[in-house]
Amino acid sequence: MRRGTLLTQVLVVNLLLIAAAVVAASIASNPESTFQGAATGIVLGFAVAATVAVNVYLLSQRFAPLEELVEEMEHADLTRPAPSRQVHDLGGPEEVQRISRSFREMLERLESERRQAAKDALGAQERERARIALDLHDEVNQALTGLLLRLGALRRVAPPELEAELAETNAVATQAMEELLAIARQLRPTTLDDLGLEAALASLVDEIGRRAAVAAAFEPEGDVSSVPDDVQLVAYRVAQEALSNSIQHGTPEHVRVRLIGAADSLELRVTDDGPGFDAHGSKPGLGISGMRERALLCGGTLQIDSAPGAGTRVTLRA
């Protein structure tokens, strides 16, 4: 270890100096008898041993805080939000305390820069989603509406033998319009802007239940009105992705979304009774990685509990 290397170097230098001093003292003393020489050697031996012991103790005490700081630097995890990343106050020399303070300040700056960059990225992503949703609603939806109007007019004057084909075409166009509007709502849920997170999640769960033909339940608890808007948006996107993964990759009969609000924080749980998967052994896909990144954007944590045959639970705390 670094401390061992540095400590060894300092001790070796001290021992060499002591040994040189002992040799010099022995030569200078020029003892007159063997007994006096032996006595002098014993005294010098005890002196050397005592000096080494004192050096080891003092240097170990001085280097201990530095070792702790090095350990914290090596294991600092910038992917974790600041509240769960602890940097302890260290004792020891003033120099070590200054390094510790500088390291803590550096982590705080990195955290602040990361949060701001993440906020900017999330904002840009949501603005792009809103733009695409608006284009789909205003351009493509209007084109489909015009197509349906023309089909309706055509059916009124078309010969009877074309009625079945025109009716089928009308049904296909109507379904395309409904799916288009559903995609637009997913890209930018107006319910979230107009009525808040609780209403948006209730609408999302209801839509998932109808579309996938599963028993879907939403259980709100507490108040999330004071939770920051960016956290509410992340919670909605995590619920959206978790439900989508549940339907696409499993065959659940029941899905449940629970939202717990407390002061300015929230906890979101999305649970299903699908086949589950090995949450620890399998490599996370884009959906799970995206949810983790979103949780990190708002300073939250994402936990996934699952096992083969035991369903899946996704928990967001922010």
For the chain, the average pLDDT equals 79
Contact 274, 251 (CB under 8 A): yes
Domain holding 11, by residue range, is: 2-111
**Cα atoms in the Cβ-side hemisphere of radius 13 Å centred on 159:** 1
Closest by Cα among 186, 179, 313 to 250: 313
In this structure, of 143-152, 236-245, 279-288, the range with the lowest mean pLDDT score is: 279-288
Residue 96 has pLDDT above 50, yes or no: yes
2-6, 58-62, 86-90, 282-286: lowest mean pLDDT where?
2-6
Contacts 24+ apart (CB under 8 A), 253-256: 253/214, 253/215, 254/214, 254/215, 254/216, 254/217, 255/205, 255/208, 255/209, 255/214, 255/215, 255/216, 255/217, 256/216, 256/217, 256/218, 256/219
In a domain, 11, yes or no: yes
Phi, psi for residue 290 in degrees, rounded to 5: -65, -40
Banded model confidence at residue 43, pLDDT cuts 50, 70, 90: low
Please give the residue that has the higher pLDDT: either 85 or 37.
Answer: 37
Look at residue 204 and tell me if it is in a domain.
Answer: yes
**Last residue within a domain, chosen from 91, 111, 131:** 111
User: Is the pLDDT assigned to residue 30 strictly greater than 60?
Assistant: no
The larger pLDDT score, comparing residue 181 to residue 18, is at 181
Is 188 a member of any domain? no
How many domains, in total, are found in the chain? 2
The CA distance from 11 to 51, in Å, is: 10
pLDDT at 185 over 70: yes
Residues 40 and 31 sit within 8 Å (Cβ to Cβ): yes
pLDDT of amino acid 3: 46
Decide if pLDDT at 35 tops 70.
Answer: no
pTM for the model: 0.61
Mean pLDDT in residue range 74-102: 63
Residue 149, exposed/middle/buried by CB under 10 A (0-12, 13-18, 19+)? exposed
Say if 289 falls within a structural domain. yes
- Please report whether residue 92 resides in a domain: yes
Q: Are 209 and 92 in a shared domain?
A: no
Average pLDDT over residues 297-315: 88
